[in-house]
Amino acid sequence: MHIGLLYAMPEERQAFTAQLSTYQTRQIAGLNAYVTRIGAHDITLVECGIGKVNAAIAATKLIQDKPLDLIISTGVSGGINLDPESLVLAHSVAYHDVDVRAFGQYVKGQLPGMSPYFKADENTLQIALECAKKHGYKSYVGMVVSGDQFLTNSATLKDMMALYEDIYATDMEAAAVAHVATLENIPFLMIRSISDRLDAPSQIADFKIFLDRAAKRAAEIVHALVQSL
């Protein structure tokens, strides 16, 4: 299996490559790529940068470089009523900053011509959940929502929360990667490790404190998942 792995930030990528015994680097259409093998699987990792457009471009370049059997987007995110270092395994992903409800037939987060959300690969999700339980990680299966904002107030998501009961995390990349993967008919999974909690007075400070620890937790679960596939 050839797996494409996307991280947004250097800290997230470094947490993953630090666990590798060996890897090679190369360029993929201007992106720094890290190539390795874990068990029976080839891994190509790119650090895509922050935001939906950067994530979508990186996912597209990965797909164009070599056929992929699975895309995993992972890293840290803000949690909704979750403590730092909790894991969120997304059964689906949606945009929280898309709104075309004025046209009447759409819900918040839905783009014209698309489903309201993008559904993760069920088999990969179940294996990831088993890995999390085996390693004793506190994990939650739910929805991740994405937009081009670093959110600090869960009230921003009130329209989304009215639609979905299990939104656990918010980030700036997952929905864009899921969108590309869905259009290209490639199975995907989003794994997020909570670095900060929305509405917490210490959220910004927590992000700085827990970034590296949360990134390490995300890297650990991806290693365990790939070894179990």
Mark whether 196 is an active-site residue.
yes
Up-side HSE of residue 87: CA atoms within 13 Å toward CB?
Answer: 25
Say if CB 43 and CB 26 are below 8 A apart.
Answer: no
Q: What is the pLDDT of residues 147-159, one digit of tens each?
A: 999 999 999 999 9
Average pLDDT over every residue of 44-56: 95
pTM: 0.93
Average pLDDT over every residue of 195-204: 92
Quote the pLDDT of residue 21.
87
- DSSP code, position 102: G
Q: Tell me the CA distances in angstroms from 38 to 17, 20, 94, 192, 223, one per residue in order.
A: 12, 9, 30, 20, 8
Mark whether 173 is an active-site residue.
no
CA–CA separation, 19 and 45 (whole Å): 13
Please determine, for residue 130, whether its predicted confidence score (pLDDT) is greater than 90. yes
H/E element, 216: helix 203-228
Please determine, for residue 191, whether its predicted confidence score (pLDDT) is greater than 90. yes
Domain with 85 in it: what CATH number? 3.40.50.1580
CA–CA separation, 161 and 30 (whole Å): 38
Please determine, for residue 68, whether its predicted confidence score (pLDDT) is greater than 90. yes
Structural domain total, the chain = 1
Please determine, for residue 141, whether its predicted confidence score (pLDDT) is greater than 90. yes
Active-site pick, 12, 121, 171, 220: 12
Active-site pick, 47, 196, 206, 220: 196
Provide the residue range defining the domain that includes 202: 2-228
